[in-house]
């Protein structure tokens, strides 16, 4: 399978502070299709993704719960992804 050597991605996001440590997140992402060939069909099309999530903030860390949905071309990436992430900022 032929894959493009580089790709272009863009997006924007919005976060809304519900309470002191609670945030809601919305993101829209668009990526260039990574397939490089006429026979790859949807893998050469743009990928449009929308994410909704919740973030809880601690002093030096955060927990995020996200759902990422492939919007228009359902055959060129995962249709929906659920993720949980823990982040910690090292203070040296």
pLDDT at 42: 66
pLDDT score, position 36: 65
- For the segment 50-66, what is each residue's pLDDT rounded down to a tens digit? 999 999 999 899 999 99
Residues of the chain with pLDDT under 70: 1, 34-44, 73-78
pLDDT value at position 78?
Answer: 66
Q: Are 73 and 43 in contact (CB under 8 A)?
A: no
Q: What is the pLDDT of residue 25?
A: 96
Task: Please give the structure tokens belonging to residue 2.
Answer: 């032929």
The 3-state secondary structure of the chain, one letter per residue: CCECCCCCEEEEEEEEEEECCEEEEEEEEEECCCECCHHHHHHHCCEEEEEEEEEEECCCEEEEEEEEEECCCCCCCCCEEEEEEEEECCCC
Whole-structure pTM value: 0.70
The whole-number pLDDT of residue 9 equals: 87
Number of other CB atoms surrounding residue 49 within 10 Å: 19
């Amino acid at each position: 399978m032929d894959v493009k050597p580089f790709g272009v991605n863009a997006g924007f996001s919005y976060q809304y502070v519900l309470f002191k440590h609670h945030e809601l997140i919305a993101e829209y992402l668009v990526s260039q299709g990574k397939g490089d060939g006429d026979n790859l069909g949807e893998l050469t099309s743009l990928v449009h993704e929308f994410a909704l999530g919740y973030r809880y903030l601690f002093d030096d860390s955060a927990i995020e719960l996200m759902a990422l949905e492939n919007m228009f071309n359902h055959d060129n990436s995962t249709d929906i992804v659920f993720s949980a992430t823990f982040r910690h900022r090292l203070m040296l």
